[in-house]
């Protein structure tokens, strides 16, 4: 294929990796999220910001809502470890995608992550506080569900954002993830829902946050600030806030 065109790098029935400019020494990694009406792999969209800033881009796609836990998990991990052996990567993940970034963190040679409401696990034995994905968890192999610290004493940097009010289980996931990766900076975004930035829908703010992360110019205070500003004009945010306050007064 010609340079610059998307390349199919790993092609399985359950997992797929597509990339652009993957000969570069630095990679931006994006990962699929849970999708309500999933029936196949989603369409590949290159990271224009990453490419413009000298990064290559790979996207880890899933044909199922299975948290990347299936018969191809170990094959994909081996592929990523070989593919990324001379690279350094940063990753962006939402919910299931955030979990996937951590699942393959060592194989990807991750150094920085931007995670929105990721799970530590959806297995009842590991995350009894998580009741939202019991149907999915019942079909998965728990032996594949294993997040681990980084190899070689590397300390993973970045941000883990979550809503501690509407989805308190997301805070519990974040706490357990930070036990493995203590340098991840927690960013509480109350009343943002799951994935903590729902009220950004219809704006370009999430893309701006991702751009700042890729460019190395993202701070936790900036995320909190824009979260509050958008919340003032978001009807969903205001509805969630009022409902929370009403319940609190009834206690």
CATH number at residue 199: 3.40.50
Confidence band for 4, pLDDT divided at 50, 70 and 90: low
pLDDT tens-digit map of 125-176: 999 999 999 999 999 999 999 999 999 999 999 999 999 999 999 999 999 9
What is the rounded distance in angstroms from the CA atom of residue 55 to the CA atom of residue 71? Answer: 30
- Whether 242 is covered by a domain: the verdict is yes
Please, are residues 162 and 88 in contact by the beta-carbon 8 Å criterion?
no
- Whether 120 is covered by a domain: the verdict is yes
- Whether 65 is covered by a domain: the verdict is yes
Rounded to the nearest integer, the mean pLDDT of the chain is 94
Please tell me the predicted confidence (pLDDT) of residue 2.
Answer: 42
- Whether 12 is covered by a domain: the verdict is yes
Number of domains in the chain: 1
Q: What's the rounded mean pLDDT across residues 85-114?
A: 98
Please, are residues 162 and 224 in contact by the beta-carbon 8 Å criterion?
no
Confidence band for 251, pLDDT divided at 50, 70 and 90: low
What is the rounded distance in angstroms from the CA atom of residue 147 to the CA atom of residue 226? Answer: 31
Give residue 150's domain range.
7-250
What is the rounded distance in angstroms from the CA atom of residue 95 to the CA atom of residue 118? Answer: 4
- Whether 1 is covered by a domain: the verdict is no
pLDDT tens-digit map of 189-242: 999 999 999 889 889 999 999 999 999 999 999 999 999 888 888 888 888 788
User: SS3 letters for 41-96?
Assistant: CCCCCCCHHHHHCCCEEEEEEECCCCCCCCCCHHHHHHHHHHHCCCCEEEEEEECH
- Whether 2 is covered by a domain: the verdict is no
Please, are residues 101 and 176 in contact by the beta-carbon 8 Å criterion?
no
> Which helix (DSSP H) or strand (DSSP E) does residue 210 occupy?
helix 205-214
């Amino acid at each position: 294929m010609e340079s610059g065109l998307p390349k199919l790098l790993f092609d399985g029935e359950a997992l797929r990796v597509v990339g652009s400019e993957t000969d570069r020494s630095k990679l931006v990694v994006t990962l699929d999220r849970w999708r309500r009406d999933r029936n196949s792999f989603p369409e590949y969209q290159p990271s224009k910001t990453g490419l413009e800033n000298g990064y290559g881009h790979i996207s880890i796609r899933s044909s199922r809502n299975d948290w990347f836990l299936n018969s191809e998990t170990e094959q994909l991990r081996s592929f990523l470890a070989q593919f990324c052996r001379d690279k350094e990567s940063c990753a962006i993940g939402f919910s299931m995608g955030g979990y996937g970034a951590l699942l393959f963190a060592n194989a990807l040679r991750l150094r920085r992550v931007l995670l929105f409401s990721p799970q530590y696990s959806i297995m009842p034995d590991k995350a009894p506080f998580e009741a939202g994905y019991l149907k999915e968890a019942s079909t998965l192999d728990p032996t594949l569900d294993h997040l681990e610290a980084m190899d070689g004493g590397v300390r993973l940097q970045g941000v883990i954002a979550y809503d501690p009010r509407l989805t308190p289980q997301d805070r519990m996931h974040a706490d357990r993830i930070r036990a493995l990766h203590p340098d991840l900076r927690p960013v509480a975004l109350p009343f943002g829902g799951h994935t903590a930035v729902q009220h950004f829908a219809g704006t370009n703010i999430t893309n701006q946050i991702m751009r700042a992360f890729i460019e190395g110019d993202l701070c936790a205070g900036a995320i909190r600030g824009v979260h509050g500003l958008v919340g003032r004009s978001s009807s969903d945010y205001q509805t969630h806030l009022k409902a929370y306050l009403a319940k609190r007064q009834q206690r």
